[in-house]
Amino acid sequence: MSREAVLHKVRTALGRNAGQTVDEPPPARLVVPEVDIEARIQSFCERIEALAGKTYRAASAGMVRDYISTLVAGRTAVASNAPILRECGIDLLPGVQTGITDRDQLRAACSTAPCGISGADYALADTGTLVMLSSPQEARLISLLPPVYIALVARARLLTGLDELLSILPRPAEQTSSMVLITGPSRTADIEQILVRGVHGPGEIHVVVV
Amino acid sequence: MSAAFDQKIHETLADPKLQLAIYKATGRLVEERRKAIEPDLCPDYQELRTHANAIKRHTIEHLDHYLEEFSRQVEAHGGKVVFCKDAEEVSDFVLSLAKERRAELIVKSKSMTTEEIDLNERLEHHHLESVETDLGEYIIQLAHERPYHIVAPALHKTREQVADLLTERLGVPRETVIEKQTMIARAVLREKFLAADIGVSGANFLVADSGAVVIVENEGNARLTTSAPKIHIAVAGIEKLIPRAQDLAVFLKLLGRSATGQRLTVYTSFLSGPKREDEIDGPDEFYVVLLDNGRTKVLADRDKRQSLYCIRCGACLNHCPVYRKIGGHSFPWVYSGPIGAILTPQFLGVRHEPGLPFASSLCGACAEVCPVKIDIPRILLELRSEVKKAEARDGAGRLERLAFRIWAWVMRHPRMYEMAGMAAASLAPSNGDGWIRNAPFNAGPLRAWLSQRDLPPAAAKSFRQMWRER
């Protein structure tokens, strides 16, 4: 509609011409500290727990499966198609629905299942954040609609923080249409500043570090 | 100052419950921010501010370039960019798209930009249902009000008021427990998310090198708005650009800490285009509406264009002694507090509410806490000067100008100044505590001056006297 009109006004306001060159922006400011893996895992777990999330460290696929089986505890769950879930045998657990590739089917499953299970592509140690890149293996609604969300993250994917993430993924759009950072359970304090969890997204988050 | 502005201020000051609500909420946000930026938690806080200011300055000074780069990138990822010069063009675009796609229901996530252009009212006028989904925004939409605060829109509502609203508008039994009120809203809005045809969001940042819209939030409603419906429209002011995804390392750290004292908010979405091939969910269509609506006017002013650096964290509101007394609804436009006091006159003209730039003690707290270092007090001074120039052009304020001419003359003549001081001190009435207030001067030119100012009692001896007697 008004593309050229608006751009023209912007250029006039700035005294610039169309196509005029631009100096380099100030350099990106990324500070990546050296933190060993044990300290990263510990910081990550502490941060999530400070936000009322739960964490569990699993040394084997069997431990992951047993832990998730107790979390789901006879309820139903929707699991993503991520390889890490299959490797841990989550798809074989009773009550777990997986392998969905149809949008409507996914929506229906996610809006009724009490639990959602997916992998996380990275985790950020200093903030307790999960990083999710949407893909054919990872749908968005699994970490969003069910009231309980369970994420699996591989130990090697634990980064120090946002700066390291953005130095590994300087242009996230080249890999995914949606990168979401999740830091704790959904929350609000919109009425009288009283904290309530699970307002729209999951109120309960469990992270398994594999 | 207009009568409406004056009246709203006095109503707010006279409401003790509201005073307490504002004081508690802003006080809590001040405290949370203070803790989050303590040197052991955030040692490079000041460097981050300096860097954020430099990036914003660079981007705003070359905005045409970044707008074009952003558009190219959005289109390369299968999205569309729509430039709009005003509110009407935005609603026309949304309405025509809704008509083409036979859409009936829109879910909205929180966006000050859409508040600025009254998008909901414009859509509803054409019988398109548009539902706010952020809990605070939902409450004020039910109450037909505008946001009280940039980040806490329903800050002024008590649980009793929310209970009445929910009962009245939704027909549910009265519920005063906040957790249960929240769950009532969740259930209603969950249905809306699953039924909606279009999701309309705002944007906290637009990333030029990625063609991405970045949205931060705590509830998850923005994620639902942007991933459940088949169409996502993001509406953002043209000033929201940053050059690179990597710049988020600076801005995300500042925004969460300044707004609510969070290191990162619960959800940060980095959205670049519609869902890609074989993705199971996400929108099929992705539009970014880039809005001017007065921004290019602000951009043209070299000294004041820094007003466009604002990332809407709300810290200046929380720290402002004026906002904390007069509240959000006293301000004449959707943007309240110090940032509202500089944006409103620049967007709507200084005549819209001439008293606004003067409703400040110039204490400087806003500039001190601003994460992108906007020099709000300096801009307020410039706007005051513009108000006075406009008044002069309109032929108003003659008496005030005369008074200041006399004052300037007296100030330049030390003997005169001393005599005038003595005369004023002897004439000043002492009523009780000795403060000079409006009351004894209920008429005449002094009334206008004293209606906004109380003067302390005159000292027994002037400084000059004490100096001579030392």
A23, A28, A179: residue with CB nearest B247: A28
> Is residue A8 included in any domain, yes or no?
no
The pLDDT assigned to B420 comes to 86
The pLDDT assigned to B443 comes to 61
Contact A191, B162 (CB under 8 A): yes
The pLDDT assigned to B431 comes to 61
Contact B167, B174 (CB under 8 A): yes
Contact B145, A161 (CB under 8 A): no
A179 and chain B: CB distance < 8 Å anywhere? yes
pLDDT confidence band for B451 (50 / 70 / 90):
confident
What mean pLDDT is predicted for residues B115-138? 97
B212, B265, B292: residue with CB nearest A6: B292
Residue B430 reports pLDDT greater than 70: no
Percent of chain B residues topping a pLDDT of 90: 85
Sign of the four-CA dihedral B135, B140, B144, B150: negative
Which residues partner with B233 through β-bridges?
Answer: B200, B287
The C-alpha of B269 sits at a distance from chain A's nearest C-alpha, in angstroms, of 4
The pLDDT assigned to A145 comes to 97
Residue B137 reports pLDDT greater than 60: yes
Say how many Å lie between the first and final Cα of chain B, rounded: 45
| Distance of alpha carbon A87 from alpha carbon B423, whole angstroms | 91
**Residue A78's domain is classified under what CATH number?**
3.40.50.10420
> Is residue A152 included in any domain, yes or no?
yes
The tens digit of pLDDT for each residue in B236-250 reads 999 999 999 999 999
> Is residue A124 included in any domain, yes or no?
yes
| Distance of alpha carbon A163 from alpha carbon A152, whole angstroms | 22
The pLDDT assigned to B146 comes to 95
Which among A46, A48, A199 is the top mutation candidate for probing chain B, defined by the most B β-carbons within 10 Å of its own β-carbon? Answer: A199
| Distance of alpha carbon B80 from alpha carbon B423, whole angstroms | 71
Contacts with B, A 72-131, CB within 8 Å = 100-103, 106-107, 111, 126-127, 129
pLDDT confidence band for B123 (50 / 70 / 90):
very high
- B178: which residues sit within 8 A by CB, 6+ positions away? A191, A192, A194, A196, B159, B162
Q: What is the dihedral of CA B418, B422, B424, B429, to 10 degrees?
A: 160
Sign of the four-CA dihedral B98, B102, B104, B105: negative
Task: Judge: B266–A183 Cβ closer than 8 Å, yes or no.
Answer: yes
The C-alpha of B79 sits at a distance from chain A's nearest C-alpha, in angstroms, of 10
Contact B178, B159 (CB under 8 A): yes
A129, A180, A190: residue with CB nearest B139: A190
What mean pLDDT is predicted for residues B197-222? 98
The tens digit of pLDDT for each residue in B171-202 reads 999 999 999 999 999 999 999 999 999 999 99
Which residues partner with B236 through β-bridges?
Answer: B290
Q: Which residue of B has its CA nearest to A201?
A: B220
Q: Which residue of A has its CA nearest to B156?
A: A192
What mean pLDDT is predicted for residues B394-415? 88
pLDDT confidence band for B168 (50 / 70 / 90):
very high
Contact B186, B134 (CB under 8 A): no
* Total number of domains constituting chain A: 1
B312 and chain A: CB distance < 8 Å anywhere? no
| Distance of alpha carbon A48 from alpha carbon A183, whole angstroms | 7
> Is residue A64 included in any domain, yes or no?
yes
Q: Which residue of A has its CA nearest to B93?
A: A1
Q: Compute CA distances B24 → A63, A90, B318, whole Å.
A: 47, 47, 10
A28 and chain B: CB distance < 8 Å anywhere? yes
Q: What is the dihedral of CA B123, B163, A201, B109, to 10 degrees?
A: 20
What CATH code would you report for B37-293? Answer: 3.40.50.10420
B67, B135, B245: residue with CB nearest A10: B67
A188 and chain B: CB distance < 8 Å anywhere? yes
pLDDT confidence band for B376 (50 / 70 / 90):
very high
Q: Which helix (H) or strand (E) holds B142?
A: helix B135-142
The β-bridge relationship of strands B267-271 and B212-217 is antiparallel
Reference A177, options B409, B253, B285, B198; nearest CA is: B285
| Distance of alpha carbon A83 from alpha carbon B456, whole angstroms | 74
Which residues partner with B291 through β-bridges?
Answer: B84, B237
Which among B184, B218, B298, B372 is the top mutation candidate for probing chain A, defined by the most A β-carbons within 10 Å of its own β-carbon? Answer: B218
The tens digit of pLDDT for each residue in B330-340 reads 999 999 999 99
Is pTM beyond 0.90 here? yes
Q: In B, which residues are within 8 Å of A7 by CB distance?
A: 64, 67-68, 83
Q: Which residue of B has its CA nearest to A178?
A: B271
Report phi then psi at A131, rounded to 5: -115, 120
Domain boundaries, chain B: 37-293, 312-393, 399-469
The β-bridge relationship of strands A148-153 and A204-209 is parallel
Task: Judge: A14–B81 Cβ closer than 8 Å, yes or no.
Answer: no
Q: How many residues does chain A have?
A: 210
Contacts with A, B 203-242, CB within 8 Å = 207, 209-212, 218-221, 223-224, 227-228, 238
Task: Judge: A191–B190 Cβ closer than 8 Å, yes or no.
Answer: no
> Is residue A13 included in any domain, yes or no?
no
| Distance of alpha carbon B341 from alpha carbon B332, whole angstroms | 9
Q: Which amino acid is at B114?
A: T
> Is residue A105 included in any domain, yes or no?
yes
| B27 token code pair | 């006080």
Residue B81 reports pLDDT greater than 60: yes
| Distance of alpha carbon A62 from alpha carbon B157, whole angstroms | 50
Reference B247, options B212, B220, B275, B291; nearest CA is: B212
Lowest mean pLDDT among B118-127, B164-173, B426-435: B426-435
Residue B453 reports pLDDT greater than 80: no
| Distance of alpha carbon A26 from alpha carbon A159, whole angstroms | 25
The pLDDT assigned to A161 comes to 98
> For B193-217, b where at least 16 C-beta lie within 10 A, e where not — what string?
bbebbbbbbbbbbbbbbbbbbbbbb
pLDDT confidence band for B440 (50 / 70 / 90):
low
Q: Which residue of A has its CA nearest to B212?
A: A173
Residue B34 reports pLDDT greater than 80: yes
B250 and chain A: CB distance < 8 Å anywhere? yes
**Residue A158: domain span:** 35-209
| Distance of alpha carbon B43 from alpha carbon B39, whole angstroms | 4
Angle at B423 between CA B422 and CA B429, to 5 degrees: 105
Task: Judge: B249–A188 Cβ closer than 8 Å, yes or no.
Answer: no
Q: In A, which residues are within 8 Å of B87 by CB distance?
A: none
Q: Which helix (H) or strand (E) holds A54?
A: strand A54-57
The one-character DSSP state at B213 is E
Residue B439 reports pLDDT greater than 60: no
Task: Judge: B62–A14 Cβ closer than 8 Å, yes or no.
Answer: yes
| Distance of alpha carbon B350 from alpha carbon B332, whole angstroms | 12
> Is residue A193 included in any domain, yes or no?
yes
pLDDT confidence band for B424 (50 / 70 / 90):
confident
Contact A104, B279 (CB under 8 A): no
> Is residue A117 included in any domain, yes or no?
yes
**Three-state DSSP class for residue B371:** coil
Q: How many other C-beta atoms can be found within 10 angstroms of the C-beta atom of residue B351? A: 12
A103, A162, A194: residue with CB nearest B280: A103
Q: What is the pLDDT along chain A (210 residues), one digit of tens a residue?
A: 699 999 999 999 999 999 899 999 999 999 999 999 999 999 999 999 999 999 999 999 999 999 999 999 989 999 999 999 999 999 999 999 999 999 999 999 999 999 999 999 999 999 999 999 999 999 999 999 999 999 999 999 999 999 999 999 999 999 999 999 999 999 999 999 999 999 999 999 999 999
Residue B19 reports pLDDT greater than 90: yes
Question: What is chain A's Cα-based Rg?
Answer: 21
Which among B149, B281, B287, B306 is the top mutation candidate for probing chain A, defined by the most A β-carbons within 10 Å of its own β-carbon? Answer: B281
What mean pLDDT is predicted for residues B254-272? 98
| B175 token code pair | 């519920």
Contact B166, B157 (CB under 8 A): no
**Three-state DSSP class for residue B370:** coil
Contact B68, A17 (CB under 8 A): no
The C-alpha of B280 sits at a distance from chain A's nearest C-alpha, in angstroms, of 5
Q: Compute CA distances B221 → A84, B121, B201, B286, whole Å.
A: 28, 20, 10, 17
Residue whose pair of structure tokens reads 């030119």 in the numeric block: B445
